[in-house]
Amino acid sequence: MERALIRPIVIMGAMYAFLKFVLPNIPGSAEIPASLIILYLLLTLSGIIIFETLSAESKEAFWGPLQRFLTGDNIGRLQPLRYGILVLFPVLVGWQTYHATVPSDRPPAENRVIHPAPPGEYTGLANPVPKTPENIMQGKGFYAAFCSPCHGANFDGKGPAARGYNPPPANFADPTTIAMLQESYLFWRIKKGGVGLPIEGMPWKSAMPRWELELPDEWIWKIIMGEYDGAHQAPRTWE
């Protein structure tokens, strides 16, 4: 096979190996879902096609052998392979179709909305508790008593009970969680818990208790202040 054809195959193989075996093993990383691997591989393939078809010469070097192979134009000993692909292709399609439709006991991939929109009555709320060191300290105390078993003493979602839950409790120290939200959003989530998630948040997979049954609103607001302070984050505001 010509070099122009081998190169793309090597690049695709290397990219797959990187995504499947290298990236997950970097400290702090984890296995990458198939949906993301496919996305990145498609991008790589697009890049290869774009680059290899930039000029008439490179296009011929890249696409010419493929075209000749597919049309059987003077390919000599590769002819049986061509017939092999002719047979293999429908078999692959059939195999894929079978696997996509066969009944399975595996749960489907999740497409859960992590941040459903809050009800209208919670959107305009501001924290009524003054932001004083005492209130923040008190909030941290409430947090330690009610929240830290799951969300962790370090606000990192790694409390002693966290391992029992799927999905795991939120990591507040991650700048992509509570730092993206307004305080009123947290107030709603703490108050209503997992059972208070709207239809949009299906399949309602959250073990978060409905704290309005046990805590007064003032305590919840103080917990929110304590959370932000302890996680070294700031709530989203518009001033």
Q: Which residues of this protein are in contact with other proteins, per CB under 8 A?
A: 23, 26, 28-36, 39-40, 43-44, 46-47, 50-51, 53-57, 59, 106-120, 123-124, 166-168, 174-176, 179-180, 182, 184-185, 200, 234-239
The SS3 assignment for 43 reads helix
Q: How far is the CB of 49 from other proteins (least distance, A)?
A: 10
Of 47 and 216, which has the nearer Cβ to other proteins? 47
Of 141 and 191, which has the nearer Cβ to other proteins? 191
Q: How far is the CB of 69 from other proteins (least distance, A)?
A: 20
Residues contacting residue 51 through CB under 8 Å, at least 6 positions apart: 58
Q: Which two tokens stand for residue 1?
A: 């096979």
Q: How far is the CB of 90 from other proteins (least distance, A)?
A: 27
Q: What are the angstrom distances between the C-alpha of 112 and each of 13, 45, 175, 199, 201? A: 31, 29, 20, 11, 7
Q: At what angle do helices 3-17 and 56-71 cross, to 10 degrees?
A: 90
Of 2 and 57, which has the nearer Cβ to other proteins? 57
Residues in the chain: 239
Q: Which two tokens stand for residue 174?
A: 């991650």
Residue/partner pairs of 41-45 with CB below 8 Å, 24 or more apart: 41/12, 41/15, 41/16, 44/11, 44/12, 44/15, 45/12
Q: How far is the CB of 82 from other proteins (least distance, A)?
A: 25
Cis status, amide bond into 119, omega within 30 of 0: no
Q: How far is the CB of 112 from other proteins (least distance, A)?
A: 6
Of 68 and 115, which has the nearer Cβ to other proteins? 115
Of 174 and 217, which has the nearer Cβ to other proteins? 174
Of 21 and 89, which has the nearer Cβ to other proteins? 21
Measure the CA–CA gap between 206 and 168, rounded to whole angstroms: 9
Of 13 and 119, which has the nearer Cβ to other proteins? 119
Measure the CA–CA gap between 20 and 33, rounded to whole angstroms: 9
Q: How far is the CB of 130 from other proteins (least distance, A)?
A: 19
Q: How far is the CB of 52 from other proteins (least distance, A)?
A: 11
Amino acid identity for residue 201 in this structure: G
